[in-house]
A = this chain, B = another copy of it.
Amino acid sequence: MSRQQEKRDQAARAAWMYYVGNNTQHEIADRLGISRQMAQRLVAYAVEQGLVRVRIEHPISDCLALADALKTRFGLAICSVVPTDGNNAEALRRMLSVAGAEVVEQFIHAEKPMVINVGSGRTLKAIIDELPEIDRPQHRIVSMVGAISSDGASNRYDVALRAAEKTGSKYFMLPAPLIADSAEDCRQWCSHRVYRVVSELAAHADLTLVGVGSVGPACPLLEDGFVSEEEVSQLVAAGAAGEMIGHIIDGTGRPLVSPLSSRVTSLQWPSSPTRPVIGFAGGAAKHKAIAAVLRGGWLSGLVTDEASARAVLAG
């Protein structure tokens, strides 16, 4: 057994004893014949590696009420609202991950083979990471965004690939960059045979998972270098309120036609979808984007936080 494996094993053991067995780290150390600090490190390592999964079972009535209100107002089938924790971004991300993973798990669990479209974004990535390993080789996972990044290497946002790894499902990548160099280039990418095959598969997906992004200073598209600051300013001036996998929408939820829109290669889906399309997003920066996406009727499910829910309902 590799050194790495051995460490994970021991960490898992320490985590069992600590979190489930209610031992102190000192007791664990004694039992495993290691130092107190080492026990502490093992437990910390287990948490860091995602070996420890925590769920809060009791729904908070305020959050439940907000979720119900959102369901009614925007015709959602699924809605989960997590408590807001000041503006601690780290905490928010973790909470959305836990709640999001719970929702996704319900679907993934099905034995019946499914096609699952997966978008991009940090929130979605965190959710996939939070998923337990469930073996579902019968499912097919489709990446809705181009897996080819302009600099070639980094595919760190290929959330779909991660999801496929987690579940052992088949993985279908979209052979394109997220944003093509020109409208012509975009048309080329999108007319490739493989693109069309994947796109066709995605059109019949049983489930679609997408992140919702803001458009503005420090927005994901800008941070990840897909658009320039100038382009962002132009988009905002043109009324951009948010985006999903690169598709920009305005405040009413309608697609925003712009120089950019003809260069985005990522997959599209109809408004008021008949199959579940679940969006994940939270945090003050995204209030406007979430509201816009909901107004546009792009989602049938949403996982968000308390403050965002309130803001959206108030708007």
Contacts and interface: CB of A to CB of B under 8 A. Distances in A.
Number of chain A interface residues as a range: 35 or more
Contacts of A94: 20-22
B56 A46 contact: yes
A90 interface: yes
A57 B61 contact: no
Contact of A17 (B9, B11, B57, B85): B85
Nearest to A11: B58
A17 B305 CA distance: 13
Contacts of A5: 61
Contact of A12 (B21, B51, B59, B85): B59
Given A21-B94, A91-B21, A94-B21, A12 B52 contact: no
A9 B62 contact: yes
Contacts of A8: 58
A192 interface: no
Contact of A109 (B56, B92, B109): B109
Contact of A60 (B12, B31, B59): B12
A86 B55 contact: no
B52 A15 contact: no
A46 B95 CA distance: 17
B95 A58 contact: no
Nearest to A52: B56
Contacts of A11: 58
Contact of A56 (B12, B85, B86): B12
Most buried by B among A5, A51, A85, A91: A85
A98 B53 CA distance: 12
A133 interface: yes
B52 A16 contact: no
Interface string A87-119: 010111011001000000000010000000000
A132 interface: yes
Nearest to A96: B20
A89 to B, nearest CB: 11
Given A21-B94, A22-B94, 8 more contacts: A5-B61, A12-B57, A12-B59, A16-B60, A17-B83, A20-B56, A20-B82, A46-B56
22 contacts: A1-B61, A9-B60, A12-B56, A12-B57, A12-B58, A16-B82, A17-B91, A19-B56, A20-B94, A20-B98, A21-B94, A22-B90, A22-B91, A22-B94, A23-B88, A52-B54, A52-B57, A53-B55, A53-B56, A54-B54, A54-B55, A109-B109
Interface of A: 1, 5, 8-9, 11-13, 15-17, 19-23, 31, 46, 49-62, 82-83, 85-86, 88, 90-92, 94-95, 98, 109, 132-133
